[in-house]
Structure 1
């Protein structure tokens, strides 16, 4: 048991970059963390950290042992399992990053529901439409669509993601309805910046790639939605963004016999937080709100737009 506690202290210090921060995470005093690290280094016979007055970093040996320690602890947690707890007893503070359109259109009620179910958990929510590394940027959870990040996280699928080519009825009446992706070059195209430098369409084994020359580009999907509804052009957007406008008839899907390669909305979680009760509860509520299914871990060694 002492060696397990020492391994947890080792991983916490490596992740937090200080003994005092690791102590807060582990809910012990700093002297206990120091003692556990010293015991672990003594048993290994070599230092795991370089300590200065300003920072604590792993030695080459420490860096080599870190991922192995994570794997051992993950396997142990999976083997032993976590005891069940009541929602009222779970407490803590979670910092998460959510794409702005997804948060505004689909997750506002989910966060309200979560706070009612778990009144002792505080939320800090950042609406960001850019890639982040949860580990390096200090987030407990990032929701995004970019897969296979470079280390330290677990990815779980929250729901499939479809992207739809849409325009307003007014625009199509004025400019005509494209029947082939190559016809898009003659239309006013509006793109999401910076990820939509290429549009890819598939049909019966054929793949067509278009490099749109946008008349309008933005890093805000809600701004693109508004521009499309107002008849300013064609745009490719996630299904959850276009859904209500399509139902209302203010947008029409075009090129319906072509498909855009699907994606996935992911929960991207630092490995050392993956078994946290509060975080698991939040991921479950978000998945429920998005209509997803049970957790599907992806790249276990993999950091989100």
Structure 2
């Protein structure tokens, strides 16, 4: 757990600076993740789990959870176990996504992918271990939150990751590879489930921990679904326009795999406009929260401005 005196907060009297906020929250998440998985026997599996979990990244998912919990009346301490669990699950999805049976990628975040270092067998098990440990971590480490809220978080997250969410999106994605007649509805299904479902869980779970109202949860769900879809549109754009060095992973994978993407349907400029519209609609959902929504609004705008 993160000690209370380490819970860095932005001074509400100063103008909000997203770069400072993200830097502070990322450091807090890194410290918590470092402590979350000690290396014990059998060492190889824990080392493989930590290799990918601690390999860097923007940590947007745990930061979204923390920001939403704070915005809706909670605090970082009650949300940090769920925030760590969300990053564990996200890391699992990356490990499995990179496997030869899936996207077959050699690099992730500028480093060799898990299966390139530990082998496919250990990489599969490392992903499995991270997924299961994430739920254990929420249940065992969440403090000062009513048990029914913790159960709701576990239920919501389980649905977001399973066949009704991430896995469902992934299977349709695999089935669509190489097909030229993939519709925009199918593409939206893939990414609403494969990408947006976990981002939505990050936001909604943070609010559940803070005991937010059903109206808040609905509003935040819409915000998260919009930024999730925008995130994927930008990912598709960057796969075409960014270099491998900028991305930290192989560029041009979508074209090589003959995947239908938003730019392949709409073109680059229209895709950018669609992403910007989604972000605008997401931010409109937060108007009633005033300055407390600054982190979530800043993150939403960051999604369309990012270069990797």
**TM-score, normalization by structure 1:** 0.21
Structure with the higher helix share, 1 or 2: 2
**TM-score, normalization by structure 2:** 0.21
Larger Rg: 1
Relative contact order (C-alpha < 8 Å, sep 6+): which is higher? 1
